[in-house]
Amino acid sequence: MSDFEHVFEKPPEGAAADWTIPQNWAAYTEVEHQTWDTLYARQMKILPGRASQAFLRGLEALDLNAGGIPDFDVINPKLQALTGWTVVCVPGLVPDEVFFDHLANRRFVSGQFIRKPDQLDYLQEPDIFHDVFGHVPMLTDPDFAAYMEAYGKGGQRAASLGMLPNLARLYWYTVEFGLMKEADGLRIYGAGIVSSATESVFALDDASPNRLGFDLERVMRTLYRIDDFQQVYFVIDSIEALKEVTLKDFGPVYAALKGQDDLAIETILPTDNVITHGTQAYAENGGRF
């Protein structure tokens, strides 16, 4: 992903040309499996009534609670049968073009490692809990599956046009930190939220952050922070609606963006569809949980 510094220029020792490595499931320790189980149980106390139907359905379809870290050889046939996606392991962050190529081919890249027992609440680099628990359930939804493939192809194009920073914001505010409207209220679908016990609550219940209706061009102008809870969340009407606006040609959007300044995170524009006008108290008090 483009949000972090890349550690490697080319595939490290032991990785294939497409940067994948074996999951080596048999090598996970008992403690590592327990870490998965602990994180899973903790999220399942919080997520019913908070996570989107699509996410909860996906979790169930993949049976990610079979005990311990999921074995990709077991979940991939199920995922592939549902939407044609598979999950592959990579040794860490990969170059953008490698990431996009995997997505364009319906392969989601996951970290192989799991966080240490003293890092349950926060870690900087995505581990297998974030990547698999957070991201993979949504890939069972046909519309989301199509969106993610299109994102991969769109990434290749945006890179050639110098628009990657803008496209990365779309990923950030949907795939990682997206909220959606459902009949019973707002729900979480972003992987960065559903995989975090604290942000799962903050994103929906806290008075601090702004919650704004999703608007493609607006999102692509909005800066984001990677080191703390978000100060703004964007709310989609449905996955289908997200797919519909993003499957259009971004040429005109990119052209319009060229003449516009980036927006600070807490900005509210007169044209915004404001769902919550946040107090920003959390960020103003220094944040960091």
Binding site for ligand PHE (CB under 6 A): 147, 150-151, 154, 157, 170, 246-250
List Cβ neighbours of 170 (8 Å cut-off, separation of 6 or more). 151, 216, 219, 220, 246
For residue 253, give the H/E element and its range. helix 251-258
Residue, CB closest to ligand PHE: 154
Identify what 204 binds: Fe ion, ligand PHE, none; CB under 5 to 8 Å per kind. none
* Min CB(23)–ligand PHE separation in Å: 27
Rg (CA), the chain: 18
Selected range binding Fe ion among 98-106, 150-158, 183-191, 250-258, rule: CB under 5 A: 183-191
Identify what 220 binds: Fe ion, ligand PHE, none; CB under 5 to 8 Å per kind. none
Alpha carbons 30 and 120: distance in angstroms, whole number: 16
**283 belongs to the binding site for Fe ion (CB under 5 A):** no
Parallel, antiparallel, or unpaired for β 86-90 and 210-213?
unpaired
Selected range binding Fe ion among 24-32, 185-193, 211-219, 224-232, rule: CB under 5 A: 185-193
Selected range binding Fe ion among 186-194, 196-204, 251-259, 271-279, rule: CB under 5 A: 186-194
Rounded to 5 degrees, φ, ψ at 232 are -145, 140
Rounded to 5 degrees, φ, ψ at 190 are -70, 135
Buried b (16+ CB within 10 A) or exposed e, 159-192: eeeebbebbbbbbbbbbbbbbbbeeeebbbbbbb
Identify what 133 binds: ligand PHE, Fe ion, none; CB under 5 to 8 Å per kind. none
Q: Is 151 or 177 the residue whose CB approaches ligand PHE more closely?
A: 151
Identified binder of Fe ion from the candidate list 54, 186, 191, 219, rule CB under 5 A:
191
Identify what 190 binds: Fe ion, ligand PHE, none; CB under 5 to 8 Å per kind. none
* Min CB(229)–ligand PHE separation in Å: 25
* Min CB(274)–ligand PHE separation in Å: 25
Contact between 256 and 241 (Cβ < 8 Å): no
**236 belongs to the binding site for Fe ion (CB under 5 A):** no
Per DSSP, 140 falls in state G
